[in-house]
Structure 1
Amino acid sequence: MLLGKVIGSVWATQKEAGMENLKLMIVQPLDAGDQEAGQPVVAADRIGAGIGEKVIVSRGNPARMLFPERVVPIDAIIVGIVDSMEIAGQGGE
């Protein structure tokens, strides 16, 4: 899994079978210090993340496992919206 920030949306009226009704978001991976860490990824979103929100993204086979009833051609999915984070040694400790 990785931390990221939603930086945009993707609209695609024509999608592969199994991707109907999946919202697609562009996510910029972040390191623990909220700095960019790699290339942006397109991630499916079923939980309603919005632009500017920090999210948790699952990639690879675990992302596809969330769809046991059908084959979905995705390799990244937003699995959580981050409310807060605490890292030892940061934040005034």
Structure 2
Amino acid sequence: MEVILEANDIVIKNRDKEMIAYNDIESIIIYKSANMDNGIPIMGFEYYYFARIVTKQQKQIDITCLVSRNIDKLLKSHVSGVFFERRHNPFAIIAAK
């Protein structure tokens, strides 16, 4: 997966190219271990986190920290006017939908 943050869109290249306009995003939820906030993760798996982008059509796109270690900061700096939520989760894994 390749994610490109452009001026007005997020471009996601996986098998197909998908563009999501920033104004089509309803919310972005960051799933991250609580220990990542204080900078002292105890276990290696606590470094893993992901951002879930929810569109106004209720489509969900998950972008993991494997794409970018600072995906949460990058999204906040590029996408304005969108509700950001931070969910503390000891095991920030992507569950089957």
TM exceeding 0.5: no
TM-score of the superposition, structure 1-length normalised?
0.29
So what's the TM-score if we normalise by structure 2? 0.28
Normalized per residue, which structure has more helix?
2
